[in-house]
Structure 1
Amino acid sequence: MGSKREDSARFFGKRNIRGAVITVLLALSFFIPTPYYLYQPGSAEELAPMVTVEGGDKAEKGALMLTTVSSLKASNYYYLAYGYFAPHTEIKRENEVRGDLSEEEYSRLLAHMMKSSQHNAIVAGLRAAEQSVQVRNVGVFLSDFVEGSKAKGILQVGDILHAVDGKKLVQVQELSEYIAQKKPGEKVEVSFTRDGKELKEKVELVEFIVKTTAGDVRRTGLAVHLENETEIDPARNVKINADDIGGPSAGLMFSLEIFNQIVAEDITKGYRIAGTGTITMDGEVGQIGGIRHKVVAASDEGAEIFFAPKDIKQEYDTNAQEAADEVEKLGLPLKVVPVATLQEAIDYLKKLDVKS
C-alpha cells in the first residue's frame, strides 16, 4: 500500500487528466459543425431609401417596409443550444434549407430569385401606376430537379437554357411543348449558359408525373423545374438597392413602394405599413416562408398594418392564417391584411383615412 501522500497524488493526477480531457473536448466542440440553421425575426426596413424611381417622389408621411428573417448557421453546439432557449427561434436541418444543392447552386438560385423578384416588382408596380414596360424572355432558368431526372449531374441548378437541338427556345412553355413531342429514352442536345459560359450537353428524356388540380399527369421531358429568365425595359428607370437581402419575398412591398413614388397620392397616409409576399408581373401575390418571424420583426419596428399573402389553396397555403395566429398569440398591436394581388393592397390603402 502506498502512503497517503502517494494516494493523494494519484487521485489529483487522475482528476487533472479528466479535467484536461474535458477541457479539450469542450474546446473541440467549438469547431464541430452541426447540420442546423437557426431562424429568428430579422428586420423591418423602410423601402424609400432602397428604391429610386426616375422622376418619382420619395416623400411619405408614413412608411412602407419589407420584412426579413434572420438566418444563422449553427456552426457549433453552443449556437445550437442557444437556439433551443432563445425566444422566437426556429431550428431547421440544413437539408430543409437548401436540399441537396451545392453552395454554388444555392447561391445561383438565391441570386435568380432576387433578380426575378425585383423585375416582377418593377413591372407590376409600373403597370399599376399606368406606366409602360417591355419584357423580353432571354432563356429558361433551371431551379430544381424532379426525382428520376437524367439531367441531374449533367445540368445544374442555375443553368439558363436557351436552345434544344439547335432550336432557340426562351420560354418555359415553348421549351416544354417542343420536348413533349418526343419519347422517353430519346436524347436532346441542350444549349445553356452557366456562370457566363456557353455550353452544350446531350440529355436523355424521361417520363415523370406532374401533380395538377385535375390530378396526376404523365409527361415526357427533362424532369426539371423551370422559370422564365427575363430582361426588362421600363419607361422609367427604377433602381432597387437591397444590399444582401436575398430571396423573392419582398416583391409585394417593392412594387407598392414603386407605385407610391409615381402616383400623386401618398398611399401610406401616415401609417407604418409592413408586409411580405412574392409578386408576379401580373401583380399576383404568392406565399413565402418564415411569416411568423416577419410579423414579430414588423411589430418591433412599430408597424401598424401587415400585408400577408392570402391563403388561396386550402391544403397548401397558410401564410395569412399563421400571421394572424402569431399576432393573437403574442398580443401584437398589428392588423394583418391578407391580399391576393397588388391591386388589393393598393385598394385597401386608398380606403384608409389619413392618420391624424
Structure 2
Amino acid sequence: MNSGSSKQIRKKILSGLLVICIIAFFIPTPYYLFQPGSVEELQSKVTVEDGEKTAAGHLYLTTVMSLKASNIYYLTYGLVAPHTDLRKVKEVRGDLTDEEYSKMLEHMMISSQQNALAAGLQAAGEDVEIIPAGIFVSSIHESSDAKGRMKVGDIIWQVDGTPVKKSDDFLHYLANKEIGDTVELTFTRDGIEQTEKIELISLKNGVNKAGVGIVPEDQVKLHASRNVEINAKDIGGPSAGLMFSLEIYNQATTGDLTKGYEIAGTGTIDMDGNVGQIGGIREKITAVHKAGIDIFFCPKDIHANDSNEKDVLDEAQKQGYSVTIVPVKTLQEAIDYLRDLPPKETT
C-alpha cells in the first residue's frame, strides 16, 4: 500500500470519528446531574411588615444545581466530577414533560412560601386565615380521559357546575359516581377559564372507586395579620420551606434567633410547622461546608423510608465536615434549639 492510500484511509477514519463525535453531541441521555448548589442568605429575600432586620448572624436556604445530561459528554463529566450524583430522568420528574415539570416546581415553591408564611407567623403567635382556592392538577394518569385535554398546572374550581374549593370537596362529589360516568370540569389554565367533559375511570388505589385519574393538590390563599414578601427569583421546589419559616419567625418576633451564628438548612414545611424530607441532601451539606456555615438544620428521619438524617450525617463523616448538623421534625424544634444556644463568641 502506498503512502497516498494510507493518508486517504487515515483521513476517512478521522472524518468518520469526527462525524460520530458530532452525532454523539446531539444524542440525549436519560440522566440528570446533581451537584452542590448555592447557599443563599434570606434576610434580603424576606421582608415581614414591621419586622426586625437586625440579626447579628444570618439564616440561609440551600440549593442543589441540577443539569440535564443532554449528551454523552455531560454524562461522562458527571461520572468523574466530585460530589456529583447521577439520577435517571424518570426518577427526578416521573412522566412529566419539561413544561409540566417546570410548572410543578413553580407550584411547589409557591406552596412552600405560603406554608412558611403560615407556619412562621403562627409560631410567632399571629393569626393566619387559610382560604381554599381550587384544586391544582399535579399529575394526570396515562389511562385518564383527561390525558391530552387537561394539563399539569390546571386549577379545577367547579364540577358539573358545583364549586369545589379543595380536594376533599372534589372527592366527596365523585364518591357516588360510577365508572364510565361523565363530569364537566371547569378550570383555569394560565388565567383563562376552560371546560372539559371527562369520562371517569376505575381507581384501583383511590378513596373512590371511580375518578378522573388525576392527583389533586389544594390551592390556597392566605390572609395574614401582616404582609410578608418573599423574593425567591428562580429558586424552585419546596425544600426551602423550613428556612423561610425561620426567617419569617425571626423578623416577626423580638430578639435575635441567630445570636451571631451562620445558620443554613433544608426541609419542606407544612402550615402546621411539620418538616418533611427533601432531595439532594448530600450535595447540600457539601455546599454548606464550602460556605463556612456553623449550623445546618435537616429533616429528622421519622418513617421507615426516610433517609435525610442518615445520609447527611454519613456524608459529613465521610468528608470530614465540621458543620453542626441538627435534625428536626418541626419548626418549633428548630426555634427551641436556637433559643437555647448561647450567643456566638466573637474573636
**Normalising by the residue count of structure 1, what TM-score does the alignment of the two structures yield?**
0.92
Alignment partner of 1:249 is 2:239: yes
Partner of 1:3: none
Partner of 2:306: 317
Q: Give the CA deviation at 1:33.
A: 2.7
Q: Give the CA deviation at 1:207.
A: 2.8
Q: In the aligned structure 2, how far is the partner of 1:311 from the partner of 1:209? A: 30
- Let me know the Cα RMSD of the aligned residues: 1.6
Partner of 1:112: 107
Q: CA 1:218–1:165 in 2, change beyond 3 Å: closer, same or farther?
A: closer
Taking only the aligned residue pairs, the percentage that are identical comes to 52
**Partner of residue 180 from structure 1, selected from 171, 175, 180:** 175
Q: In the aligned structure 2, how far is the partner of 1:31 from the partner of 1:90? A: 22
Partner of 1:85: 80
| Residues 81-112 of structure 1 deviation map (CA, whole Å, 9 limit, x = unaligned) | 11100011111222222222222222221111
Alignment partner of 1:171 is 2:160: no
Q: Give the CA deviation at 1:186.
A: 1.3
**Partner of residue 35 from structure 1, selected from 27, 30, 34:** 30
**Partner of residue 223 from structure 1, selected from 197, 202, 213:** 213
**Partner of residue 328 from structure 1, selected from 286, 300, 317:** 317
Find the residue that maps to 2:326 and give its secondary structure: strand
**Partner of residue 57 from structure 2, selected from 62, 74, 80:** 62
Q: CA 1:231–1:179 in 2, change beyond 3 Å: closer, same or farther?
A: same
**Partner of residue 354 from structure 1, selected from 328, 343, 346:** 343
Find the residue that maps to 1:12 and give its secondary structure: helix
Q: In the aligned structure 2, how far is the partner of 1:355 from the partner of 1:291? A: 26
Alignment partner of 1:267 is 2:257: yes
Q: In the aligned structure 2, how far is the partner of 1:23 from the partner of 1:110? A: 39
Q: Give the CA deviation at 1:147.
A: 5.9
Q: In the aligned structure 1, how far is the partner of 2:211 from the partner of 2:314? A: 42
| Residues 151-199 of structure 1 deviation map (CA, whole Å, 9 limit, x = unaligned) | 3233221111101110001111111111112122211111111111111
Q: In the aligned structure 2, how far is the partner of 1:302 from the partner of 1:265? A: 24
Q: In the aligned structure 2, how far is the partner of 1:344 from the partner of 1:307? A: 10
Find the residue that maps to 1:239 and give its secondary structure: strand
Alignment partner of 1:290 is 2:280: yes
Find the residue that maps to 2:52 and give its secondary structure: coil
Partner of 1:22: 17
Q: In the aligned structure 1, how far is the partner of 2:74 from the partner of 2:159? A: 48
Partner of 2:292: 302
Contact 2:36-2:63 at 8 Å conserved across structures? yes
Partner of 2:96: 101
* Equivalent residue letter for 1:165: D
* Equivalent residue letter for 2:267: G
Q: In the aligned structure 2, how far is the partner of 1:147 from the partner of 1:285? A: 32
Find the residue that maps to 2:11 and give its secondary structure: helix
Q: In the aligned structure 2, how far is the partner of 1:182 from the partner of 1:219? A: 8
Q: In the aligned structure 1, how far is the partner of 2:12 from the partner of 2:223? A: 71
* Equivalent residue letter for 2:232: A
Partner of 1:192: 187
Q: In the aligned structure 2, how far is the partner of 1:128 from the partner of 1:41? A: 31
Partner of 2:328: 339
| Residues 207-233 of structure 1 deviation map (CA, whole Å, 9 limit, x = unaligned) | 32338xxxxx66332232111111122
Q: Which moved more, 1:258-267 or 1:222-231?
A: 222-231
Alignment partner of 1:128 is 2:123: yes
Q: Give the CA deviation at 1:146.
A: 4.4
| Residues 243-268 of structure 1 deviation map (CA, whole Å, 9 limit, x = unaligned) | 11101110000000010011111111
Find the residue that maps to 1:119 and give its secondary structure: helix
Q: Which moved more, 1:190-199 or 1:94-103?
A: 94-103
* Equivalent residue letter for 2:65: S
Q: In the aligned structure 2, how far is the partner of 1:290 from the partner of 1:89? A: 10
| Residues 37-76 of structure 1 deviation map (CA, whole Å, 9 limit, x = unaligned) | 1101111111111111111112222211101000112222
Find the residue that maps to 1:337 and give its secondary structure: strand
Q: CA 1:147–1:286 in 2, change beyond 3 Å: closer, same or farther?
A: farther
Q: In the aligned structure 2, how far is the partner of 1:312 from the partner of 1:147? A: 32
What runs of 5+ residues in structure 2 fail to find an aligned partner? none
What runs of 5+ residues in structure 1 fail to find an aligned partner? 1-5, 212-216
Partner of 1:214: none
Q: CA 1:152–1:349 in 2, change beyond 3 Å: closer, same or farther?
A: same
Q: Which moved more, 1:15-24 or 1:188-197?
A: 15-24
The structure having more radius of gyration, on CA atoms, is 1
